[in-house]
């Protein structure tokens, strides 16, 4: 048995599998993420200078969004436009929602690592999620910008990439391709994270001498590179403002 397979088998024997309790913890953590933010203030305080440009973009017609993609990711601004409610500052809820996604993903990512027991896995995951939830930058400010989306997309890519390395199935590899391609519409930094994730997967497979799996990862990575490149070429690069 290879080293990677032995580690995965040990995790299964230790009973560290996901249960309904973990789903409940994530639900509580997501709710707490919103509860800890002063929503009544965020939904009534006028946008400050650096928030004004994404706020203005959210008022642009749908037909103009792609043309404005050099200022903010199309997906992020689309979510701001779709946010229901009457408050002029309701777009800030999108930024907070991505913090909640980061909290949930951090728990899932940490929980999925090869711990020796279910209790230690849950304890470590809860602490990691709590650190993300209580990050001072997001507690003090929830600006109408895509920075929280950048963090959430990076964590999602890492979480799915970890699942790919642990399970080594085409189903999870296809999920990683899908997450990477969708993430680029919400975070351009997802491009660099995807390179790191696929590079790590190739290295892991090569170290285990799983050559056929290595080839499949390289093929999937090439598909992601092609699709991300097509998105950049069609949506972002033509609309850059060189001034």
Q: How far apart are CA 163 and CA 200, in angstroms?
A: 13
For residue 243, pLDDT beyond 80 = no
Q: Answer yes or no: is pLDDT of 223 > 80.
A: yes
Q: Would you state the pLDDT for residue 107? A: 97
Higher-pLDDT residue of 179 and 53 is 179
Instruction: Give the pLDDT score at 199.
Output: 97
Buried/exposed 129-157: b ≥16 CB within 10 Å, e otherwise:
beebbeeeebeeebbbbbbbbbbbbbbbb
Q: What is the pTM (predicted TM-score) of this model? A: 0.88
pLDDT tops 60 at residue 213: yes
pLDDT band at 45 (very low <50, low <70, confident <90, very high): confident
Please state, in angstroms and rounded to a whole number, the distance separating the CA atoms of residues 184 and 76. 10
Show Cβ contacts of residue 224 under 8 Å, excluding neighbours closer than 6 positions: 177, 180, 181, 194, 198
pLDDT tens per residue, range 158-203: 999 999 999 999 999 999 999 999 999 999 999 999 999 999 999 9
């Amino acid at each position: 048995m290879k080293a990677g397979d032995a580690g995965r088998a040990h995790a299964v024997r230790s009973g560290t599998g996901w249960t309904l309790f973990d789903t409940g913890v994530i639900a509580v953590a997501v709710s707490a993420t919103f509860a800890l933010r002063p929503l009544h203030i965020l939904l009534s305080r006028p946008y400050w200078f650096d928030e004004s440009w994404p706020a203005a973009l959210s008022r642009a017609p749908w037909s103009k969004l792609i043309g404005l993609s050099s200022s903010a990711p199309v997906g992020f601004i689309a979510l701001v436009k779709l946010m229901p409610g009457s408050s002029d500052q309701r777009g800030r809820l999108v930024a907070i929602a991505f913090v909640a996604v980061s909290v949930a993903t951090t728990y899932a990512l940490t929980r999925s690592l090869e711990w020796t027991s279910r209790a230690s896995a849950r304890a470590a995951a809860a602490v990691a999620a709590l650190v993300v939830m209580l990050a001072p930058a997001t507690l003090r400010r929830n600006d109408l910008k895509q920075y929280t989306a950048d963090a959430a997309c990076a964590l999602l890519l890492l979480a799915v990439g970890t699942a790919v390395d642990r399970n080594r199935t085409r189903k999870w590899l296809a999920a990683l391709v899908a997450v990477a391609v969708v993430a680029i519409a919400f975070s351009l930094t997802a491009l660099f994270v995807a390179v790191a994730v696929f590079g790590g997967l190739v290295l892991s497979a090569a170290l285990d001498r799983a050559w056929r799996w290595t080839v499949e990862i390289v093929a999937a990575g090439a598909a992601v590179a092609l699709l991300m490149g097509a998105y950049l070429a069609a949506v972002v690069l033509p609309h850059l403002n060189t001034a």
